[in-house]
Amino acid sequence: MSQTDQIDTRHEQPSFEALSRWLSMMEVYHHAINVVRCQLPQTATLVENSVREMSSRFADLSSGIKQQSNAVRQISEMANSLEFGNEQITLEEFTNLFSETLSNSIEKIMFVSKRAITMVYMLDEAMKSIATIESFVSDIRNITKKANLLALNASIEAARAGELGKGFSVVADEVKQVSETIRQLSDSINERINVVGQSVRDGYEVLSDVATTDMSENIMAQDKLNTLMDSLIKQKQNFSAVLQDSASASDEISNTISGMVMSLQFQDRTSQYVSSSVRLLEYMDSTIAEFGAENRRSFPDIANVKMDGVLAEKIAQQFSLSEFERMFRASINGTDFDNLCLNQTAENTISTSAKPEMEDIELF
Protein backbone atom coordinates (compact mmCIF):
# COMPACT_ATOMS: atom_id res chain seq x y z
CA MET A 1 0.00 0.00 0.00
CA SER A 2 1.43 3.41 -0.94
CA GLN A 3 1.87 6.13 1.59
CA THR A 4 -0.71 8.36 0.01
CA ASP A 5 -3.60 5.92 0.58
CA GLN A 6 -5.85 6.89 3.42
CA ILE A 7 -5.57 4.76 6.51
CA ASP A 8 -8.68 2.51 6.58
CA THR A 9 -9.47 2.58 10.23
CA ARG A 10 -12.14 -0.01 10.02
CA HIS A 11 -10.01 -2.83 8.77
CA GLU A 12 -6.69 -2.43 10.47
CA GLN A 13 -5.61 -2.52 14.10
CA PRO A 14 -4.18 0.87 14.80
CA SER A 15 -1.39 1.23 17.29
CA PHE A 16 -3.36 2.59 20.18
CA GLU A 17 -0.35 3.85 21.94
CA ALA A 18 0.83 5.84 18.97
CA LEU A 19 -2.65 7.16 18.35
CA SER A 20 -3.10 8.07 22.02
CA ARG A 21 0.11 9.95 21.93
CA TRP A 22 -0.89 11.84 18.79
CA LEU A 23 -4.25 12.73 20.27
CA SER A 24 -2.67 13.94 23.45
CA MET A 25 -0.11 16.01 21.50
CA MET A 26 -2.78 17.47 19.26
CA GLU A 27 -4.64 18.71 22.33
CA VAL A 28 -1.61 20.68 23.37
CA TYR A 29 -1.07 22.04 19.87
CA HIS A 30 -4.68 23.10 19.71
CA HIS A 31 -4.07 25.41 22.66
CA ALA A 32 -0.80 26.58 21.21
CA ILE A 33 -2.53 27.38 17.95
CA ASN A 34 -5.13 29.38 19.91
CA VAL A 35 -2.41 31.51 21.33
CA VAL A 36 -0.75 32.02 17.92
CA ARG A 37 -4.13 32.90 16.38
CA CYS A 38 -4.40 35.58 19.01
CA GLN A 39 -0.78 36.68 18.69
CA LEU A 40 -0.66 37.15 14.91
CA PRO A 41 -3.46 39.69 14.51
CA GLN A 42 -1.99 41.61 17.40
CA THR A 43 1.28 41.69 15.54
CA ALA A 44 -0.54 43.20 12.61
CA THR A 45 -2.20 45.73 14.87
CA LEU A 46 1.08 46.67 16.48
CA VAL A 47 2.75 47.16 13.11
CA GLU A 48 -0.24 49.11 11.81
CA ASN A 49 -0.23 51.43 14.79
CA SER A 50 3.51 51.96 14.71
CA VAL A 51 3.40 52.71 11.03
CA ARG A 52 0.55 55.11 11.47
CA GLU A 53 2.49 56.81 14.22
CA MET A 54 5.68 56.97 12.16
CA SER A 55 3.84 58.24 9.11
CA SER A 56 2.32 60.99 11.16
CA ARG A 57 5.68 61.96 12.61
CA PHE A 58 7.25 61.94 9.17
CA ALA A 59 4.47 64.17 7.92
CA ASP A 60 5.28 66.59 10.73
CA LEU A 61 8.98 66.38 9.89
CA SER A 62 8.25 66.98 6.26
CA SER A 63 6.17 70.04 6.95
CA GLY A 64 8.81 71.34 9.35
CA ILE A 65 11.40 70.99 6.64
CA LYS A 66 9.21 72.75 4.11
CA GLN A 67 8.83 75.62 6.55
CA GLN A 68 12.55 75.76 7.03
CA SER A 69 13.07 75.63 3.30
CA ASN A 70 10.71 78.55 2.82
CA ALA A 71 12.50 80.51 5.51
CA VAL A 72 15.80 79.85 3.76
CA ARG A 73 14.38 81.03 0.46
CA GLN A 74 13.12 84.19 2.10
CA ILE A 75 16.54 84.89 3.56
CA SER A 76 18.04 84.30 0.16
CA GLU A 77 15.73 86.87 -1.37
CA MET A 78 16.34 89.34 1.43
CA ALA A 79 20.10 88.97 1.01
CA ASN A 80 19.77 90.05 -2.56
CA SER A 81 17.73 93.16 -2.19
CA LEU A 82 17.82 96.39 -0.28
CA GLU A 83 15.07 98.80 0.52
CA PHE A 84 15.83 102.11 -1.10
CA GLY A 85 13.24 104.82 -0.50
CA ASN A 86 10.04 103.19 -1.71
CA GLU A 87 11.66 100.59 -3.90
CA GLN A 88 13.46 97.31 -3.62
CA ILE A 89 16.74 97.26 -5.47
CA THR A 90 19.23 94.46 -5.86
CA LEU A 91 22.68 94.68 -4.40
CA GLU A 92 24.15 94.90 -7.89
CA GLU A 93 21.89 97.81 -8.79
CA PHE A 94 22.92 99.51 -5.57
CA THR A 95 26.64 99.14 -6.19
CA ASN A 96 26.25 100.41 -9.75
CA LEU A 97 24.35 103.44 -8.51
CA PHE A 98 26.98 103.99 -5.88
CA SER A 99 29.83 103.77 -8.39
CA GLU A 100 28.08 106.13 -10.75
CA THR A 101 27.47 108.65 -7.99
CA LEU A 102 31.10 108.55 -6.96
CA SER A 103 32.32 108.89 -10.54
CA ASN A 104 30.02 111.83 -10.92
CA SER A 105 31.43 113.48 -7.81
CA ILE A 106 34.95 113.05 -9.09
CA GLU A 107 34.05 114.56 -12.44
CA LYS A 108 32.63 117.57 -10.63
CA ILE A 109 35.71 117.91 -8.43
CA MET A 110 37.87 117.91 -11.55
CA PHE A 111 35.65 120.50 -13.20
CA VAL A 112 35.82 122.79 -10.17
CA SER A 113 39.60 122.39 -9.99
CA LYS A 114 39.96 123.33 -13.63
CA ARG A 115 37.75 126.42 -13.24
CA ALA A 116 39.56 127.49 -10.09
CA ILE A 117 42.92 127.40 -11.86
CA THR A 118 41.40 129.37 -14.75
CA MET A 119 40.20 131.98 -12.26
CA VAL A 120 43.67 132.18 -10.73
CA TYR A 121 45.11 133.01 -14.13
CA MET A 122 42.39 135.59 -14.77
CA LEU A 123 43.01 137.30 -11.44
CA ASP A 124 46.71 137.29 -12.25
CA GLU A 125 45.90 139.25 -15.40
CA ALA A 126 43.63 141.58 -13.42
CA MET A 127 46.40 142.28 -10.94
CA LYS A 128 48.80 143.02 -13.78
CA SER A 129 46.33 145.51 -15.27
CA ILE A 130 45.90 147.18 -11.92
CA ALA A 131 49.64 147.49 -11.55
CA THR A 132 49.77 149.09 -15.00
CA ILE A 133 47.03 151.56 -14.06
CA GLU A 134 48.85 152.40 -10.84
CA SER A 135 51.98 153.21 -12.79
CA PHE A 136 49.96 155.39 -15.18
CA VAL A 137 48.57 157.28 -12.22
CA SER A 138 52.09 157.71 -10.90
CA ASP A 139 53.13 159.08 -14.30
CA ILE A 140 50.24 161.54 -14.21
CA ARG A 141 51.33 162.82 -10.82
CA ASN A 142 54.86 163.31 -12.08
CA ILE A 143 53.53 165.25 -15.02
CA THR A 144 51.37 167.51 -12.85
CA LYS A 145 54.33 168.15 -10.59
CA LYS A 146 56.31 169.24 -13.64
CA ALA A 147 53.40 171.37 -14.82
CA ASN A 148 53.22 173.10 -11.44
CA LEU A 149 56.93 173.91 -11.57
CA LEU A 150 56.52 175.28 -15.06
CA ALA A 151 53.60 177.43 -13.93
CA LEU A 152 55.69 178.73 -11.03
CA ASN A 153 58.56 179.62 -13.33
CA ALA A 154 56.14 181.31 -15.69
CA SER A 155 54.70 183.40 -12.83
CA ILE A 156 58.17 184.53 -11.80
CA GLU A 157 59.06 185.49 -15.40
CA ALA A 158 55.75 187.28 -15.72
CA ALA A 159 56.41 189.29 -12.57
CA ARG A 160 59.85 190.31 -13.91
CA ALA A 161 58.29 191.45 -17.16
CA GLY A 162 56.03 193.81 -15.21
CA GLU A 163 53.05 195.26 -17.09
CA LEU A 164 53.88 193.32 -20.24
CA GLY A 165 53.82 190.06 -18.34
CA LYS A 166 50.33 190.44 -16.82
CA GLY A 167 48.61 188.37 -19.49
CA PHE A 168 51.24 185.76 -19.19
CA SER A 169 50.74 185.68 -15.42
CA VAL A 170 47.05 184.94 -15.86
CA VAL A 171 47.85 181.98 -18.13
CA ALA A 172 50.34 180.73 -15.64
CA ASP A 173 47.71 180.81 -12.92
CA GLU A 174 45.28 178.92 -15.10
CA VAL A 175 47.86 176.26 -15.76
CA LYS A 176 48.42 175.94 -12.06
CA GLN A 177 44.66 175.48 -11.51
CA VAL A 178 44.36 172.84 -14.20
CA SER A 179 47.33 171.06 -12.83
CA GLU A 180 45.75 171.09 -9.39
CA THR A 181 42.50 169.67 -10.75
CA ILE A 182 44.35 166.93 -12.54
CA ARG A 183 46.24 166.10 -9.38
CA GLN A 184 43.01 165.81 -7.44
CA LEU A 185 41.51 163.58 -10.12
CA SER A 186 44.53 161.34 -10.11
CA ASP A 187 44.30 161.10 -6.33
CA SER A 188 40.71 159.95 -6.68
CA ILE A 189 41.69 157.44 -9.34
CA ASN A 190 44.44 156.19 -7.09
CA GLU A 191 42.02 155.68 -4.24
CA ARG A 192 39.65 153.75 -6.47
CA ILE A 193 42.41 151.62 -7.89
CA ASN A 194 43.60 150.80 -4.42
CA VAL A 195 40.12 149.63 -3.48
CA VAL A 196 39.85 147.55 -6.65
CA GLY A 197 43.32 146.20 -6.12
CA GLN A 198 42.46 145.18 -2.58
CA SER A 199 39.27 143.47 -3.75
CA VAL A 200 41.19 141.50 -6.33
CA ARG A 201 43.78 140.51 -3.78
CA ASP A 202 41.05 139.46 -1.32
CA GLY A 203 39.38 137.48 -4.10
CA TYR A 204 42.68 135.90 -4.88
CA GLU A 205 43.03 134.79 -1.24
CA VAL A 206 39.59 133.19 -1.25
CA LEU A 207 40.28 131.50 -4.55
CA SER A 208 43.58 130.21 -3.24
CA ASP A 209 41.72 128.58 -0.37
CA VAL A 210 39.41 126.89 -2.84
CA ALA A 211 42.08 125.86 -5.27
CA THR A 212 44.50 124.59 -2.64
CA THR A 213 41.88 122.36 -1.05
CA ASP A 214 43.35 119.09 -2.11
CA MET A 215 40.68 116.65 -3.15
CA SER A 216 43.10 113.94 -4.12
CA GLU A 217 42.49 112.10 -0.85
CA ASN A 218 38.77 112.08 -1.50
CA ILE A 219 39.37 110.72 -4.93
CA MET A 220 41.57 107.97 -3.55
CA ALA A 221 38.86 107.17 -1.06
CA GLN A 222 36.67 106.12 -3.94
CA ASP A 223 39.08 103.32 -4.61
CA LYS A 224 38.54 102.01 -1.10
CA LEU A 225 34.80 102.29 -1.50
CA ASN A 226 34.90 100.39 -4.78
CA THR A 227 36.85 97.61 -3.10
CA LEU A 228 34.30 97.59 -0.28
CA MET A 229 31.45 97.31 -2.76
CA ASP A 230 33.20 94.47 -4.55
CA SER A 231 33.62 92.53 -1.35
CA LEU A 232 29.98 93.16 -0.42
CA ILE A 233 28.94 91.64 -3.69
CA LYS A 234 31.33 88.72 -3.27
CA GLN A 235 29.95 88.12 0.19
CA LYS A 236 26.41 88.15 -1.08
CA GLN A 237 27.31 85.70 -3.80
CA ASN A 238 28.88 83.33 -1.28
CA PHE A 239 25.88 83.75 0.92
CA SER A 240 23.52 82.98 -1.95
CA ALA A 241 25.51 79.88 -2.88
CA VAL A 242 25.31 78.55 0.66
CA LEU A 243 21.60 79.27 0.87
CA GLN A 244 21.09 77.55 -2.44
CA ASP A 245 22.84 74.46 -1.12
CA SER A 246 20.71 74.56 1.98
CA ALA A 247 17.53 74.83 -0.05
CA SER A 248 18.59 71.88 -2.21
CA ALA A 249 19.42 69.83 0.86
CA SER A 250 16.02 70.58 2.35
CA ASP A 251 14.34 69.53 -0.88
CA GLU A 252 16.29 66.29 -0.86
CA ILE A 253 15.32 65.59 2.72
CA SER A 254 11.69 66.21 1.87
CA ASN A 255 11.87 63.79 -1.03
CA THR A 256 13.59 61.16 1.09
CA ILE A 257 10.87 61.45 3.70
CA SER A 258 8.17 61.08 1.07
CA GLY A 259 9.90 57.95 -0.15
CA MET A 260 10.08 56.61 3.37
CA VAL A 261 6.41 57.25 3.98
CA MET A 262 5.56 55.42 0.76
CA SER A 263 7.59 52.39 1.67
CA LEU A 264 5.85 52.28 5.05
CA GLN A 265 2.69 51.43 3.24
CA PHE A 266 3.79 47.81 3.28
CA GLN A 267 1.70 47.46 6.38
CA ASP A 268 -1.23 46.77 4.07
CA ARG A 269 0.47 43.64 2.97
CA THR A 270 1.39 42.80 6.53
CA SER A 271 -2.31 42.61 7.41
CA GLN A 272 -2.98 40.40 4.43
CA TYR A 273 -0.13 38.05 5.24
CA VAL A 274 -1.28 37.85 8.82
CA SER A 275 -4.91 37.20 7.84
CA SER A 276 -3.99 34.37 5.54
CA SER A 277 -1.66 32.87 8.16
CA VAL A 278 -4.47 33.01 10.73
CA ARG A 279 -6.89 31.37 8.31
CA LEU A 280 -4.38 28.63 7.64
CA LEU A 281 -3.95 28.07 11.36
CA GLU A 282 -7.68 27.98 11.87
CA TYR A 283 -7.99 25.42 9.13
CA MET A 284 -5.19 23.36 10.63
CA ASP A 285 -6.87 23.59 14.01
CA SER A 286 -10.23 22.48 12.70
CA THR A 287 -8.84 19.54 10.73
CA ILE A 288 -6.86 18.44 13.77
CA ALA A 289 -9.97 18.71 15.94
CA GLU A 290 -12.03 16.79 13.40
CA PHE A 291 -9.49 14.03 13.19
CA GLY A 292 -9.24 13.85 16.95
CA ALA A 293 -13.02 13.72 17.37
CA GLU A 294 -13.36 11.05 14.72
CA ASN A 295 -10.75 8.88 16.38
CA ARG A 296 -12.35 9.28 19.79
CA ARG A 297 -15.67 8.22 18.31
CA SER A 298 -14.18 5.25 16.47
CA PHE A 299 -12.09 4.02 19.35
CA PRO A 300 -13.85 4.34 22.64
CA ASP A 301 -10.73 3.09 24.39
CA ILE A 302 -8.94 6.31 23.61
CA ALA A 303 -11.96 8.57 23.88
CA ASN A 304 -10.77 10.04 27.12
CA VAL A 305 -7.12 10.55 26.32
CA LYS A 306 -5.96 13.68 28.03
CA MET A 307 -3.63 16.40 26.88
CA ASP A 308 0.10 15.71 27.25
CA GLY A 309 0.92 17.72 30.37
CA VAL A 310 4.67 17.46 30.07
CA LEU A 311 4.63 18.73 26.50
CA ALA A 312 2.24 21.46 27.55
CA GLU A 313 4.67 22.61 30.20
CA LYS A 314 7.57 22.58 27.76
CA ILE A 315 5.59 24.68 25.30
CA ALA A 316 4.44 27.04 28.05
CA GLN A 317 8.08 27.80 28.66
CA GLN A 318 8.63 28.54 24.98
CA PHE A 319 6.57 31.72 25.30
CA SER A 320 9.04 34.48 26.04
CA LEU A 321 6.32 37.02 26.76
CA SER A 322 4.43 36.28 29.98
CA GLU A 323 1.15 37.57 28.60
CA PHE A 324 1.14 34.81 25.99
CA GLU A 325 2.13 32.20 28.55
CA ARG A 326 -0.91 33.33 30.57
CA MET A 327 -3.12 33.01 27.51
CA PHE A 328 -1.82 29.55 26.79
CA ARG A 329 -2.59 28.43 30.34
CA ALA A 330 -5.97 30.10 30.20
CA SER A 331 -6.79 28.26 26.99
CA ILE A 332 -5.77 25.00 28.65
CA ASN A 333 -7.74 25.74 31.79
CA GLY A 334 -10.71 26.79 29.75
CA THR A 335 -10.91 30.12 31.53
CA ASP A 336 -12.19 33.05 29.51
CA PHE A 337 -9.56 32.87 26.77
CA ASP A 338 -11.45 35.05 24.30
CA ASN A 339 -11.80 37.92 26.72
CA LEU A 340 -8.16 37.64 27.68
CA CYS A 341 -7.20 37.90 24.01
CA LEU A 342 -9.49 40.90 23.45
CA ASN A 343 -8.13 42.67 26.53
CA GLN A 344 -4.58 42.02 25.42
CA THR A 345 -5.38 43.44 21.96
CA ALA A 346 -6.93 46.51 23.55
CA GLU A 347 -3.88 47.01 25.75
CA ASN A 348 -1.54 46.82 22.78
CA THR A 349 -3.60 49.31 20.83
CA ILE A 350 -3.35 51.83 23.66
CA SER A 351 0.27 51.26 24.48
CA THR A 352 1.55 51.93 20.96
CA SER A 353 0.18 55.43 21.07
CA ALA A 354 1.63 56.13 24.52
CA LYS A 355 5.38 56.43 24.97
CA PRO A 356 6.63 53.20 26.46
CA GLU A 357 8.34 53.49 29.83
CA MET A 358 11.48 51.46 30.09
CA GLU A 359 10.01 49.30 32.88
CA ASP A 360 7.11 48.20 30.70
CA ILE A 361 9.33 46.59 28.14
CA GLU A 362 10.09 42.97 28.91
CA LEU A 363 13.62 41.96 28.17
CA PHE A 364 14.15 38.80 26.21
Should residue 214 be labelled a site residue for other proteins when binding is judged by CB under 8 A? Answer: yes
* Per-residue binder mask for other proteins (CB under 8 A), 124-163, x = binder: x---------------------------------------
Among 212, 263, 304, 317, binds other proteins (CB under 8 A): 212
Should residue 200 be labelled a site residue for other proteins when binding is judged by CB under 8 A? Answer: no
Should residue 281 be labelled a site residue for other proteins when binding is judged by CB under 8 A? Answer: no
Among 129, 169, 222, 298, binds other proteins (CB under 8 A): 222
* Per-residue binder mask for other proteins (CB under 8 A), 66-105, x = binder: -------------------------------------x--
Interface size with other proteins, residues (CB under 8 A)? 26
Residue 219 CB, nearest approach to other proteins (Å): 6
- Give the chain as a 3 state SS string: CCCCCCCCCCCCCCCHHHHHHHHHHHHHHHHHHHHHHHHHHHHHHHHHHHHHHHHHHHHHHHHHHHHHHHHHHHHHHHHHEEEECCEEEEHHHHHHHHHHHHHHHHHHHHHHHHHHHHHHHHHHHHHHHHHHHHHHHHHHHHHHHHHHHHHHHHHHHHHHHHHHHHHHHHHHHHHHHHHHHHHHHHHHHHHHHHHHHHHHHHHHHHHHHHHHCCCHHHHHHHHHHHHHHHHHHHHHHHHHHHHHHHHHHHHHHHHHHHHHHHHHHHHHHHHHHHHHHHHHHHHHHHHHHHHHHHHHHHCHHHCCCCCCHHHHHHHHHHCCCHHHHHHHHHHHHCCCHHHHHHHHHHHHHHHHHCCCCHHHCCCC
Residue 105 CB, nearest approach to other proteins (Å): 10
The nearer residue to other proteins, 121 or 364, going by C-beta atoms, is 121
Span near other proteins by CB under 8 A; candidates 9-17, 41-49, 113-121, 273-281: 113-121
Should residue 123 be labelled a site residue for other proteins when binding is judged by CB under 8 A? Answer: no
Should residue 114 be labelled a site residue for other proteins when binding is judged by CB under 8 A? Answer: yes
The nearer residue to other proteins, 106 or 193, going by C-beta atoms, is 106
Span near other proteins by CB under 8 A; candidates 30-38, 106-114, 332-340, 351-359: 106-114
Which residues lie near other proteins (CB under 8 A)?
103, 106-107, 109-110, 112-118, 120-121, 124, 208, 211-216, 219-220, 222-223
